Each structure stands twice: as structure tokens, then as C-alpha cells.
Amino acid sequence: MNTVINPALVAEHNAGERARLDADYDALAGMLQRRGVDIEALTAQAQRFALAIPSWGVGTGGTRFARFPGPGEPRNVMEKLEDCAVIHQLARVMPTVSLHFPWDAGDPAALRQAAEGYGLGFDLVNSNTFQDQAGQAHSYKFGSLTSHSAAVREQAVQHNIDCIALGRALGSKGLTVWVGDGANFPGQHNLRGALERYLDSARLIYQALPDDWLMYIEHKLFEPAFYATTIADWGTSYACATALGPKAKCLVDLGHHAPNTNIEMIVARLAQFGKLGGFHFNDSKYGDDDLDAGSIDPFQLFLVFNELADAAQRDGAAFRPAYMLDQSHNVTDPIESLMSSAVEVQRAYVQAALVDRAALRHHQERNDALQAAQTLKHAYRTDVGPILTMARVRAGAAADPVACYRAAAYREQQRRARPPRAGASGSGIV
């Protein structure tokens, strides 16, 4: 495997952390044993957990107002893959990359070869009909899959079909479709008509899916449409996924809900009805802030994973949602944010695995709300850090990914190797 960071440096870093790790791990093992939990089983579970890197996440993000590029940013998809390889090498929890077209257009064979060289695979592919591209025949200003114009709808459908072809060549198994289509004014859209057009277009995409592919419908409350977004909520997403058929599922981006929405309940509902396709993890305080996963409300992330653990227990191996981060890194080094966020998601997963489900059910059946809540809190408050660190070290990754990354001075090297392109500081939400 092509390693971007010198493995000797990782080994040296880990050697320096070893004594502390062993002491913390042994202490936690003893504590868990007294609770009847085998730490080794949890560590093995942590090692099996995986989520995908959004290719667009390795570049600095922006807001509607500005983008402040960081040094040494990747300038093309090959350089993005190189950054993803660093994340994979140091954190070992993100072994796949999710590409976004046409942002990541490139020769699929060359992309595959580069990814395989780094030990990376490709996860779901994403289409983009929320922006116009240079040379495009028809504009998406007034919508894409829902447009009143048949020519615009055809172009948007064809783009999604092209994405499927690209994804197939990459070994991907699914397409995520998020459209920003909607209205800014009451009356601008016939609300029912827009959804009818969406479904007509989505059916054509669905028909182009290979047998072993899924189509993931991503809902979002608002932005860029500020009055009525066509696929605004999980209810609409569920209705569309149901209308399309068994290969259509719903994708939950944590940031795409009104503040205070009970997202874990949405997760439970979608899982119950077999339509939970996957996640875009991130965190938010106000809207679609795209902040780092677990940085604002880690308890919510835990509660989401609590529902996922419940669904996995009920449905077994058939329950395999796609996990991905979708964040905008405006003030941090994207590689550091992605590694830290991935670890936060993995942490929530392990904490949820610690929930004593028999005790929880017992308290629920006796209407003991306080003890039921305490059962969740008990798992949530357990510091599973040593399990995550041990999982990384055993997989050859870094005990402390950010410290090791900084010691490797990768960003500094790339600052020299990748001088910025002209115009790279433009605004844009990615």
C-alpha cells in the first residue's frame, strides 16, 4: 500500500503513547468487566466500524459570504485522494471516498488505480444539479428534477444517469440525490405539481439503477430555497422512496432539520419501515451549519447511534446503512477535522454498543423513566477513548491522529507543493 505519511513516524509516535494507552486500556477493561462487558469484543466492533470521506470535505469550505482557503489545498481529484489517504492511514476509520460529480470528474480507471494504491475504495457517488456548470445547455436557476422545462429535467436526469455510469466504473454501489429545488415565494410553485415532476424525473433515474445499487434521497429543510423546498423533510423523502420502490432509501443529513427536531426519532421511524438508507454526519447549532460531527451536541449523536444499535439488534446483518461525513471546514485544517469527526462518530457508535439493552427494556416496561434515562447516560458517560485508540493502534494507524499528522508536517509540505490556483478563494458553500 502506498503510504503518504512515513510509517516509521507513525510507529515512533505510537511507541511514545504505548505505556499510557496500555494503562488506560487495562483500567477500562477492569471497569467494564465489573459491568459484565468484554472490552475485546468492543474493540473488535470499533475496528469494524467505517464511514466514508466526502471528497469535497478535504478542501476548505465557505459560506455565502466568503471562502478563506487554507494552505496546500487539493486542486483536483487526485490531490483530494492523496489527502484522503492521509486520513485513512492515520485514523483507519474512513476507508472509502464518496465522490461528487462533476466536481470530481476524471478517468474512472485512473481514479480507481490511485485509490487502490492507497488502500481506499469508493463509496456512494453524488450528483449535482444544484449548480450550473460551464458549457451546460440549460440552467438550474429555477430547478432541476422539478423544473417546468422538460429539457432541463431531461438534462438533470441524464446527469444522474451519467453519475451511475461513473460510479459503476469506480465500484460504487449507490447514488445520493440531493436537489436544492424549491420556491422562494408563496405561489411560485404549485407545491403538488413540483413534487409530481420530481417523482417523474426520479423514476427515470431509478430505472437506470443497476440491480445491486440503491438510490438515496437526501432531504433538506431549506437553502437554497427559502420558502418551500420540494424534498424538505423525511416524510416527503419516505413517500418518494416508497413510491419509487425497494431500491430507493432515505438519507439523513443531521444538519437538514429545524433546530430541536428529534432526529433520533426520525431514524427510528425510517429504520422501522425499512427505508433508512444512510447518513451525512455533521453538527449544527442553528441550521445546516455543517460543523464537525459531535462538536455541538454529542449526546444527540449518541442517541442517533442508540437507535441504530436497536435497529441492528432487531434486523441483524440486513441492516447496513451507509455512513458518511458531510461537513464544511471553514476555520480548521480539513484533514484534522475529518479525522477528529470520524473518531467522534465512532465514539458514539461504541458508546451506543455499551447500552445495557436488557436493563433499558426492563425500566421501560416498568415505566421507570428516570432509570431508563440513567441507563443511557451511564453508557454515554463512559470514556471509551482507550478502546478507540487501541483499535487504531492495532490497525497500524496513529494513537493520536491529529498529533501525528502535525508532527508529519504534511500541510506544510503541501503548501509548497500545491500553490493555489487563480480564483480558488471564491465564495461558495460546499
Give me the residues that bind Mn ion (CB under 5 A), please: 253, 280, 326
**Which residues in the 235-274 window bind ligand PSV by CB under 6 A?**
253
Tell the smallest beta-carbon distance from residue 39 to ligand PSV (Å): 36
- The residue assigned the cell 447496513 is 320
Could you say which of 25, 118, 140, 178 contacts ligand PSV (CB under 6 A)? Answer: 178
Closest CB to ligand PSV among residues 126, 330: 126
d(CA 256, CA 243): 22
Q: Closest approach of Cβ 224 to ligand PSV, in Å? A: 9
Task: Kindly state the helix (H) or strand (E) to which residue 215 belongs, with its residue range.
Answer: strand 214-218
Q: Which is nearer to Mn ion, 13 or 256 (CB)?
A: 256
Binding mask 107-146 for ligand PSV (x = CB under 6 A): -------------------x--------------------
Determine the residue type at 30.
G
Render 236-248 in DSSP notation, one character per residue: HHHHHHHHH-TTE
Contacts of 423 (CB under 8 A, 6+ apart): none
**Which CB sits closer to ligand PSV, 253 or 264?**
253
d(CA 359, CA 110): 52
Q: Which of residues 48-107 bind ligand PSV (CB under 6 A)?
A: 56
Pairing of strands 248-253, 228-229: unpaired
Regarding 159 and contact with ligand PSV (CB under 6 A), the answer is: no
326 binds ligand PSV (CB under 6 A): yes
**Chain centre to alpha carbon of residue 331:** 19
Q: Does 220 bind ligand PSV (CB under 6 A)?
A: yes
Report the SS3 class of residue 122.
strand
Which among ligand PSV, Mn ion, none contacts residue 310 (Cβ within 5 to 8 A by kind)? none
Question: Residue 156: what are its φ and ψ, rounded to 5°?
Answer: -65, -40
CA dist., res. 351 & res. 355, Å (int): 7
Nearest distance in Å: CB 126, Mn ion: 8
If the CB atoms of residues 81 and 376 are measured against ligand PSV, the closer one turns out to be 81
Phi, psi for residue 29 in degrees, rounded to 5: -60, -45
**Binding residues among 273-312 for ligand PSV as defined by CB under 6 A:** 280, 288
Which residues of this chain interact with ligand PSV, rule CB under 6 A? 56, 126, 178, 218, 220, 253, 280, 288, 326, 430
